[in-house]
Amino acid sequence: MPSLSRPEARFAVDLVKQCCDLAVAVQSDTVGAFLEKEDRSPVTLADFSVQALVSHRLAEAFPEVPLMAEESTSQLRGAEGERFLERVAGYVRKFEPSANSVSVRRWIDRSQWHGGSSFWVLDPIDGTKGFLRGAQYVVALALVSNGVVEIAVLGCPRLSLKPATAPGSLATDPAEVGSLLFAVRGEGAWLTSLEDEDFLQLSVSNCEDPRHTVALRSFESGHTDESWFERVVKHMGIETDPILLDSQAKYAVLAGGYAGLHFRLISPSTPEYREKLWDVAAGALIVQEAGGRVTDLAGKELDYEAGFRLENNRGILASNGKLHEMALKSLQATK
């Protein structure tokens, strides 16, 4: 059984479970309600609702530890923004009776991190396009201290996951009962249902033959370099079909042993793009604690001390460890 003796770990697991209930409630009511950010990416009622609840709960429990999170209320201006915020407050109020549009705006904007060696990092709805399609998304929460991820939780409402008996056997159809994965540094990675706490320890695939492994990549073609991905797969001799998934659900699948490789390649249309901490931190620790390895595309360790973006890293390679060096060589040979 896992140890949840650290108060932050127990708190994070319980909070992410509650946030998954909140996200499911929003999705079942009105999956199509969203705004468009300046970068043209969507942000939903669920993004704001989950972030508000997490921010409020963390401020109550650990007021000295700041929160770094994706959303701000800068988009919620004017009459349309106020109406959107009222709807957010209505959902949050189901879990926190004191919520109103004023307090919710304050809770969301408390999440604008301004420095500090220890902080929480949140992606309230990682995989917003998956959320809007009724496909995969996750709630991702992690605690970072002195550049190291110490605690990680992934809530996956649409992914029913059990440790794999055979790579490639994963069914990615949306689940009635989702999964929660968490890790505490040095204590392994663990899996449970969102409805109980029957914990199972996770272990990555032990596959060493690239022909029989499974590779993961983003579902959205605009989030990756499809041509490079295909060249790498061919160069490595991977014979199985890839799994395309939104969000850090890919890290969950990798940690569960269903795949051996995850490539986060930079889209040719955005060559200067750098990963955000909230898109990586939780999933990376869970893969590592399940026995895998996570670096950038050049094999460098991820630098979590450069701000909210991984400025010193380019792209992500996550693996079962056994195929990592081979994948790095293929990336260099095919770029």
Q: How far apart are CA 137 and CA 235, in angstroms?
A: 30
Instruction: Say what the pLDDT of residue 77 is.
Output: 80
220: confidence class by pLDDT, cuts 50, 70, 90: confident
Give the residue-averaged pLDDT of 66-92: 89
Q: In which band, very low, low, confident or very high, does the pLDDT at 164 lie, cut at 50, 70 and 90?
A: low
Question: For residue 318, which of 291, 293, 335 has the smallest C-alpha distance?
Answer: 293
Distance CA(290)–CA(230), nearest Å, equals 27
Percent of the chain with pLDDT over 90: 71
Confidence of residue 34 (pLDDT cuts 50, 70, 90): low
Site of tokens 């199972």: 200
Residue 128 has pLDDT above 70, yes or no: yes
133-158 core/surface letters (b: 16 or more CB in 10 A; e: else):
eebbbbbbbbbbbeeebbbbbbbbbb
Long-range CB pairs of 64-67, under 8 A, 24+ apart, other chains included: 65/116, 65/118, 65/119, 65/120, 65/143, 66/113, 66/114, 66/116, 66/119, 66/120, 67/110, 67/111, 67/113, 67/119, 67/120, 67/121, 67/122
User: 173 vs 62, which has greater pLDDT?
Assistant: 62
**Mean pLDDT computed over every residue of the chain:** 90
pLDDT mean over 41-65: 91
Most confident of 25-39, 78-92, 145-159: 145-159
Q: What is the pLDDT of residue 5?
A: 77
Q: Where are the alpha helices (DSSP H) in the chain?
A: 7-30, 45-61, 78-93, 101-109, 128-133, 226-236, 249-255, 281-289, 324-334
Confidence of residue 196 (pLDDT cuts 50, 70, 90): confident
Core vs surface per residue 251-287: b (16+ CB within 10 A) or e: bbbbbbbbbbbbbbbbbeeeeeebbbbbbbbbbbbbb
Active-site residue list:
47, 128
Q: Is the full-model pTM beyond 0.75?
A: yes
Tokens coding 195: 């409805």
* Phi, psi (rounded to 5 degrees) for 285: -65, -40
d(CA 241, CA 51): 35
224 phi and psi angles, rounded to 5 deg: -150, 180
* CA-derived radius of gyration, the chain: 19
Work out the pLDDT band at 116, boundaries 50, 70, 90: confident
pLDDT, position 89: 96
From 103-117, 128-142, 200-214, 275-289, the region with the lowest mean pLDDT: 103-117
CB neighbours of residue 124 within 10 Å: 31
CATH 3.40.190.80 boundaries in the chain: 210-334
- Residue 167 pLDDT level (bands cut at 50, 70, 90): very low
Does position 217 have pLDDT exceeding 50, yes or no? yes
Task: Name the band, by pLDDT with cuts 50, 70 and 90, for residue 132.
Answer: confident
Residue 168 has pLDDT above 50, yes or no: no
Place of tokens 């029957």: 198
**Rounded to whole angstroms, how far apart are CA atoms 10 and 181?**
13
Q: In what order do the strands lie in the sheet with 67-69?
A: 67-69, 118-126, 138-145, 148-156, 179-184, 189-193, 200-201
* Per-residue model confidence (pLDDT) at position 166: 46
210-334: CATH, from 3.40.190.80, 3.40.190.100, 3.40.190.10, 3.40.50.2300: 3.40.190.80
Mean pLDDT for the stretch of residues 238-251: 95
| Per-residue pLDDT band at 27 (split at 50, 70, 90) | confident
Tell me the C-alpha to C-alpha distance, in Å, between residue 95 and each of 32, 123, 260: 22, 19, 38
Average pLDDT (96-112) is 93
Residue 284 pLDDT: 98
CA distances from 182 to 143, 179, 247 (A): 12, 10, 16
Residue intervals in the chain for CATH 3.30.540.10: 7-201
Contact 266, 315 (CB under 8 A): yes
Tell me, what amino acid is at 42? P
User: Does 31 have pLDDT greater than 70?
Assistant: no
Instruction: For 7-201, give the CATH class.
Output: alpha beta
